[in-house]
Amino acid sequence: MTKNIIRNTFYAASALVLVSCTKMQDIGILNTGGYENLDKSTPLKDAAAFPIGTAISPTPFNNDAKYREAVLRDFNSVTFEYHMKHGAIQRSNGTKDFTTADNMMNALNGIPVFGHTLAWHQNQNASYLNTVLGLSSDAPVVELINNGTLESGALGDWGVWNSAGGAASVTVTNNATYVFQGTYAMKVVNPVNGNPWNVQIASNAFPTVAGKSYRVSFNIRTESGSGQMRLSTSGTDAQYGPNVDVTSSYQPSVWTFTGITGNTRLMIDIGAVQGTYYIDNFSVIEVSEAPTGPALVRAVDSLLEDYITATVNHFKGKVKAWDVVNEMFTDNGAIRNSVNTTIPEGATDYFLWSGYLGRDFAYNAFKYAEAADPAADLYINDFNLEYSPQKVDSLIKHVAELKERGAKVDGIGTQMHISWRTDLGKMEDMFRKLGQTGLKIRISELDIKTVMGSPAGAPTDLLNSYQAAMAKKVVELYVKHIPAPQRAGITIWGINDGNSWVSDGGKEFALFYDDNYEKKPAYGAFLAALLGKE
């Protein structure tokens, strides 16, 4: 395609492109072209003195011959998209499963693997971490009360202990008006006003351990009017809960007591106020005492050390470089914590290491990685560095702090999930700043969005040429500002558009091969830039 054809296509399609001509001219797209005619036959790995990598996943690599052929033919470095992350390796029973990663490595015919990633706030087995720390409701729960939901339709072990002279009663009802949840609830009739212990309903005796905490929870209401109840434990060393005011609407109630003997029986003391009461979903569980303060910090740090040490040791001698810390900063340059990091609703894989460890997070992570494999290159990796000057400045400053404290930080990874409209001025500033650190610098996760909601809805010739121009510019700026000894490589985050993490069901086309594994103009432009061609 000639330059004139590209220009004419632009004018015909300008209404479909949601940016100004000024912006396009700023990034040079109107003044370049011919990307369809560029050489695409040369493998990218043969065009650079530094590694050219790609990210892979096991399903397409194992099952799609063309995908695998592209990986083996065109690249001399590989990063696993997911299968070296905590969520892929850490099992909930405390063991670690490296099987998938090992199998992938064995199928690569010796292509070096870049380890990604040892510590991130996403893609974690967060249930395991929270359970071990005692922070999770996902921890195994042992219910100590028999028939607390009454869903058997019978009282089971529940029974009257004291009965106000024999007139009090406890039964099971299936009257939906008085059932909180399910089909059945407990019905207690107290015919008199008196002391709380005048009417007592007893649970089964259940095992307890002296000094451990136990949480009792239930829902209670009256048939009408108001009433009162409390909980207690049986025996001469009885403990008493607070008086609970009860209304004609179900309300939750919780009481925590401490085990004293090897067995405990709970009493529902309900003799103070005459009335008919309904109780449902009665439960007693042992409370896992979560660590707090310094104890919690030590516990989190221990889990970090355990995972990094085990993983780096497992791949020692095979993986020569690691993303030790990934995405530690928000876009304004702050270290992530539970306040400044939004966890999507329903997400179960988030665990904010830095929220617990603060500035020691990265320092400790790098020290553990170095101890496990002193010969490996260790990187900190982040995204939007080309977008946020505050973020790149904060990251560089933190790396300097880490090194001053004695941590081994060999390099910085800039992910570069960008688009053809990314601001080149900010991008160049980023590369300039990174180059001045003296550290190894790698573009770690490059992809370039093209459609971005354009009414065209597909990668037209025009959009493909824009993507190609940006791909070429990325390489040129990298080579311009990163001195040759610091160039640790460029990794393209995937092979074909359909397998890209930003494919959005076929609405975005951010990679350098189409779904027929034909090389797109971006491949030719990227190759030309690696070869130093105009």
pLDDT at 34 over 80: no
| Cis amide leading into 32 (omega within 30) | no
Task: Specify the pTM.
Answer: 0.72
Find tokens 């106000």 and name the residue: 164
Q: Has 428 been annotated as catalytic? A: no
Domain ranges of the chain: 1-76+416-534, 109-139+289-412, 159-286
Q: In whole angstroms, give the CA distance from residue 122 to residue 399.
A: 21
Secondary element (H or E) of residue 426: helix 424-435
Give the containing element (helix H, strand E) for 454.
none
Tell whether the model's pLDDT for residue 465 goes beyond 80. yes
Where does the pLDDT of residue 93 fall: very low under 50, low under 70, confident under 90, or very high at 90 and above? confident
527, 42 in Cβ contact below 8 A? yes
How much is the pLDDT for 141?
63
> Per-residue pLDDT for 48 more than 60?
yes
Residue among 79, 101, 107 nearest 490 (CA)? 79
Q: What distance in Å separates the CA atoms of residue 99 and residue 337, rounded to the nearest whole number? A: 32
Count Cβ atoms below 10 Å from residue 177 Cβ, excluding itself: 8
Contact 146, 156 (CB under 8 A): yes
Lowest mean pLDDT across 102-116, 279-293, 307-321: 279-293
pLDDT at 213: 87
d(CA 486, CA 18): 37
Lowest mean pLDDT among 21-25, 140-144, 234-238, 341-345: 21-25
Residue 30 above 60 pLDDT?
Answer: no
Number of H helices, E strands in the chain: 14, 19
Please report the DSSP string for 285-320 in residue order.
EE------HHHHHHHHHHHHHHHHHHHHHHHTTTEE
Higher-confidence residue of 31 and 467: namely: 467
Task: Give Cβ neighbours of residue 221 (< 8 Å, ≥ 6 apart).
Answer: 178, 180, 246, 247, 248, 249, 250, 251, 277, 278
Average pLDDT in the chain: 90
**Alpha-carbon gap, residue 126 to 256, rounded angstroms:** 27
- Using CA atoms of 86, 87, 93, 97 in order, give the dihedral in degrees to the nearest 10: -70
For the domain bounded by 159-286, which CATH number is listed? 2.60.120.260
Query: In whole angstroms, what is the distance from residue 4 CA to residue 34 CA?
Result: 9
SS3 422: coil
Distance in angstroms (rounded) separating the CA atoms of residues 272 and 288 = 33
Rounded to whole angstroms, how far apart are CA atoms 386 and 425? 9
Selected catalytic residue, list 81, 370, 386, 445: 445
pLDDT for 24 beyond 50:
no
Of 23-32, 166-175, 428-437, the range with the lowest mean pLDDT is 23-32
For residue range 224-259, list pLDDT tens digits in order: 999 999 999 988 789 999 999 999 999 888 898 999
Q: Of these residues, 81, 327, 370, 508, which one is catalytic?
A: 327
Is the confidence at residue 274, as pLDDT, over 90?
yes
User: For the segment 350-391, what is each residue's pLDDT rounded down to a tens digit?
Assistant: 999 999 999 999 999 999 999 999 999 999 999 999 999 999
Respond yes or no: is residue 445 known to be catalytic: yes
According to DSSP, residue 520 is labeled: P
**127-168, pLDDT tens digit by residue?**
899 888 888 655 556 889 999 999 999 999 999 999 877 789
pLDDT at 33: 61
Which CATH class, in words, describes the domain spanning 109-139+289-412?
A: alpha beta
Of 526, 534, 503, the residue nearest 75 (C-alpha): 526
Sheet holding 159-163, edge to edge: 159-163, 199-207, 263-269, 227-233, 244-246
Dig out the tokens for 116 from the structure.
């990604």
Distance CA 487, CA 154 (A): 74
The span from the CA of 347 to the CA of 350, in Å, is 7
Tokens standing for residue 169: 């009663």
Token reading at 333: 């340059």
> Could you please report the per-residue DSSP string of 367-386?
HHHHHH-TTSEEEEEES-TT
Q: Tokens standing for 491?
A: 């990794």
CB 434 within 8 A of CB 481: yes
